Chain A
Amino acid sequence: MITALNLLIGLTMGLNLLALGSSRVPSLIMAVSVQGMALGVMPFLVEPHLEWMVALVAVGTIAMKGFVIPALLRRAMRTANVDREVEPAIGFVPSLLLGAGGTIAAVALAHALPLLPEHSGSLLVPGAGASVLTGFVLLIGRSKAISQVCGYLILENGIYLFGLLLIRATPMLVEAGILLDITVGIFVIGIIVDRIQRAFDSLDTRKLTVLRE
């Protein structure tokens, strides 16, 4: 079980680097979507005795993170008619270096924090840390609104990974509520992206500079 889980987390960390290195928005969205599906499978591996609520949340995650949200992003990209270059504020090579450094730091940090014996062999904590850092690099280092949303999604995927440590302890109602909140959040962000496109005729957040001191 733990090897299969670690393999999937390794895939997630690889997808982080792919997201940092992609120069085109569709491949960025693809990375986020595959990552979402990988995350959705994980509860089945963590929790051997399958309860129906766990299964429901897992299936909901695959559907939302793997299909619905990426489809929304693709639609936003098409209707907004943005050109597909990512336009980095932090270049691709520096982003990749930051991402790789972040991954190493996350592994080191996970060694410093005390873990339960059953978690000591898993990559959940380093994977979570690496994804959160990748999310931050994308949020700060990309100027298109859609790329920033992808960064936000990867950040949340990292938190989801960490949440798997607690899957036995937290009531499923809480997990379901969190998933619902995040989904609604992405819908709302999608609507605002659409409005920004109409108001500014662009999704380049570098043009959002009217409000400042």
Chain B
Amino acid sequence: MKELLLIIVPLAGAALAAAWPSDRTRPWLLPGVGGVHVLLSFWLLFHPPAIAPGAWFGFDPLARAVLPAVSLLFLVCSAYSVPYLRLRAERSNRVFVASLLAVLGLLSAGHQARHLGFLWIATEAVTLACVPLLHFNGTARAFEATWKYLLVGGTGIALSLLGSFCLGYASLRGGGSGDLTFASLIGQGVGLSRPWTLAAWVLLLAGYGTKMGLAPMHTWKPDAYGEAPGIVGAMLAGGVTTVAFTAVLRVRAVVAAAGAGAIADRTLLAIGLFSMVVAAVFLLGTRDFKRMLAYSSVEHMGILAIGAALGPAGAFAALFHVWSNSLTKGSLFLSAGNVRRAAGARSADEVAGMMQVTPRSAALFVTGMFAVTACPPFGPFFSELRVVQAAFEAHRPGAAILFLGCLLFAFFGLTRLVFAIVDGRPRVASRAAGRRFPETLQVVIPPALLLLLSLWLGLATPAVLQNAWSGAVAQLFPSS
């Protein structure tokens, strides 16, 4: 029952937040619920429950390998949100807090969904619950970003529904019952009708790939990440994209069981490499440091897709990378939020010298940038190293070389922009805004904590996590 509490507690918290009378005390619900969620998910990480065979939801090995990372990220972001929402006291936070809690509950449901239909319902609901978070700032630009997010994201999610139906019809046509639980679909194996399975794979990859932000379906991402508050960006990049990635992994396992695993792997590899190339090109060109984070996220989604395409070793590396990406990217979004508030602008044309205005956040931002570009000894270095190893083991040296080349160009792009922002002499406008939004310890500790977690993940990857990732790989690749 504890696994269902992961869904129920945040949703109940969201209802409570919607009814809570005081704007001043309401944000405290976020760390409260986040704390309970972390306790529950880590308890389940250490004591994995048994799964009922036909269950629609369950804390299965894949959920165990990923969900605690989202939970941890949410707790740290919620700790940051209390001082953040105090800074934004001019507007009501009722909808914001309720939506953020609903997102956590629905993400837990999506990660644990063992039925294609419920997976879709949860993902669509997450998409909708994010909408009020995106336009929290209430500017015209924020509404423009929200519109693009809704239109692109809605179309993607509609395609994944069509894909889910195609997979159901593949089962019916193959003589099955049309039962959409992953266990029964995998059980039917090569009995699934091949043309329908392939159609389903294309549609589901396009649909959930849109949610992940794989190129060329990534166009909503820079706008949404650029306009949303830092916490929302962190949750989108570390939580919402993860649920879409687990969806892709689950569907890939079905397609592989149906005997089309090689085709699935080739498409994943191609789309992953394409995402990395697109991200590297745009990272070299962008002048806005919040949009930069979005392109960096596109790059890391590409890495996940490549990992998923490279067999058991690659999937292990991808799950490792889910953790290191969530924690590191979270730290970057929060420190970028601090810098952005104090600077009063987001483009390298208007911002410079933030090392003098917000020294601690700028230092965290620079360190986080090195962490996310895979500098040792942070988590991303080790997970990306494993992806490269898996590529060579799978006899795909060309992919490995392209991968490393993209990482190098992304590194150039990120360092170019980050140092343009932190170095130099601060602008007059930034000095005034910096006095209005001084960096207190409350907004510096959460990103620092996430960075420390990423460091710990790289230096001493806990055995229980390695065990969880191996368990998930065994679930995804039952034959090997």
> Does A50 sit at the interface, judged by CB under 8 A?
no
Q: Is B458 an interface residue (CB 8 A)?
A: no
Q: Is the CB of A163 within 8 A of B124?
A: no
Contact with A along B111-150 (1 / 0, CB 8 A): 0000101101100110010010001000111011111101
Q: Are B199 and A211 in contact (CB under 8 A)?
A: no
Query: Can you list, as one digit per residue, whether each of A179-203 has a CB less than 8 Å from chain B (1) or not (0)?
Result: 0011011001100100110011000
Task: Determine whether the beta carbon of B168 is less than 8 Å from that of A113.
Answer: no
B401-435 contacts to A, CB under 8 A, are none
A165 touches B158 (CB 8 A): no
Contact A168 B193 (CB under 8 A): no
Contact call B143/A196, Cβ cutoff below 8 A:
yes
| CB-contacts of A155-213 with B (<8 A) | 155-156, 158-159, 162-163, 165-166, 168-171, 174, 177-178, 181-182, 184-185, 188-189, 192, 195-196, 199-200, 205, 208, 210-211, 213
Which of A158, A171, A211 lies at the interface centre, i.e. has the most chain B CB atoms within 10 A of its CB? A211
Task: Give A185's nearest chain B residue, CB to CB.
Answer: B128
Q: In this assembly, does B172 line the interface, its C-beta being within 8 Å of a C-beta of chain A?
A: yes
Alpha-carbon separation in the docked complex, A184 to B158 (Å): 14
Contacts of A182 in B (CB 8 A): 124
B434 CB, min distance to chain A CBs, angstroms: 25
Q: Which residues of B contact A158 (CB under 8 A)?
A: 162
Given A184-B128, A192-B150: A156 in contact with B158 (beta carbons within 8 A):
yes
Decide: A166 near B125, CB < 8 A? Known: A113-B195, A178-B120, A210-B140: no
Interface residue tally of chain B, by bracket? 35 or more
Cα distance A155–B161 when bound, in Å? 11
Find out whether the CB atom of A211 lies under 8 angstroms from the CB atom of B227: yes
0 or 1 for each of B147-173: is its CB under 8 Å from A? (1 = yes): 110110011001001100110110111
Given known A-B contacts A114-B195, A114-B196, A185-B124, A211 and B223 have beta carbons under 8 A apart: yes
Assembly CA distance A182 to B125 (angstroms) = 9
How near does chain A come to B202, taking the closest CB pair, in angstroms? 13
| CB-based contact B162/A132 at 8 Å | yes
CA distance A185 to B149 in the complex (A): 12
- Does B58 belong to the interface (CB within 8 Å)? no
Contacts of B135 in A (CB 8 A): 192, 195
Determine whether A139 belongs to the interface, using a CB cutoff of 8 Å to chain B.
Answer: yes
Q: How far is the CA of A170 from the CA of B150 in the complex (A)?
A: 27
Q: Please give the distance in Å from B180's CB to the nearest CB on chain A.
A: 6
Main secondary structure on chain A at its contact with chain B?
helix
Q: Are A171 and B144 in contact (CB under 8 A)?
A: no
Q: Is B179 an interface residue (CB 8 A)?
A: yes
Cβ–Cβ < 8 Å partners of A152 in chain B = 151, 154-155, 158
CB of B282 within 8 Å of the partner chain: yes
A210 CB contacts on chain B under 8 angstroms:
140-141, 144
Closest Cβ of chain A to B286, distance in Å, is 6
Min distance, Cβ B58 to any Cβ of chain A, angstroms: 16
Q: How far is the CA of A66 from the CA of B480 in the complex (A)?
A: 51
B222 within 8 A of A: yes
How many A residues have CB within 8 A of the partner chain? 43
- If A113-B195, A166-B169, A185-B128 touch, whether A159 touches B151 (CB-CB below 8 Å) is no
Considering the complex, give the chain A residue whose CB is closest to the CB of B117.
Answer: A174
Please, which residues of chain A bring their CB within 8 A of the CB of B291?
213
A174 touches B143 (CB 8 A): no
Check: B376 CB closer than 8 A to any chain A CB: no
Residue of A116, A132, A174 near B118 (CB, 8 A) is A174
Whether B471 sits at the interface, judged by CB under 8 Å, is no
**B151 and A148 within 8 A (CB):** yes
State the Cβ distance, B280 to closest chain A Cβ, in Å.
14
Closest to A115 in B: B173
Q: Which residues of A contact B125 (CB under 8 A)?
A: 181, 184
Cβ of A145 within 8 Å of any chain B Cβ, yes or no, is yes
B165 touches A195 (CB 8 A): no
Interface residues of A in 138-153 (CB under 8 A from B): 139, 145, 148, 152
Which residues of B have CB within 8 Å of A177? Answer: 117-118, 121
Q: How far is the CB of A112 from chain B (nearest CB, A)?
A: 8
Q: Is the CB of B117 within 8 A of A185?
A: no
Specify which of A114, A159, A205 is in contact with B193 (CB 8 Å cutoff): A114
Out of A166, A169, A184, A192, which one reaches B146, CB within 8 Å?
Answer: A192
Report the Cα distance A132→B128, complex, angstroms.
21
How far, in Å, is A73 (CB) from chain B's closest CB?
Answer: 15
Expressed in whole angstroms, the Cα–Cα distance for A210 and B151 within the complex equals 17
Per the bound structure, the CA–CA distance linking A165 and B273 in Å amounts to 36
> What per-residue 1/0 map shows which CB atoms of B211-251 lie under 8 Å from chain A?
00000000000110011000000000000000000000000
**How many Å lie between the Cα of A156 and that of B160 in the bound state?**
11
Q: Is the CB of A199 within 8 A of B121?
A: no
Q: Mark B272-288, 1 if CB is under 8 A from A, else 0.
A: 00000000001001100
Q: Is B92 an interface residue (CB 8 A)?
A: no
Q: How far is the CB of A16 from chain B (nearest CB, A)?
A: 16
Q: How far is the CA of A210 from the CA of B223 in the complex (A)?
A: 10
The distance in angstroms between the C-alpha atoms of A113 and B195, with both chains bound, is 7
Q: Which B159-216 residues sit within 8 Å CB-CB of chain A? A: 161-162, 165-166, 168-169, 171-173, 177-180, 193, 195-196, 199
CB<8 Å pairs between A and B, sample of 15: A114-B195, A158-B162, A159-B162, A162-B165, A162-B169, A163-B165, A165-B169, A166-B168, A169-B168, A169-B178, A169-B179, A185-B124, A192-B146, A205-B147, A210-B140
Closest 3 CB pairs of A and B: A169-B178, A174-B117, A199-B140
List 5 extra interface pairs beyond A152-B151, A192-B147, A211-B223, CB under 8 A.
A114-B195, A116-B173, A162-B169, A188-B150, A213-B291
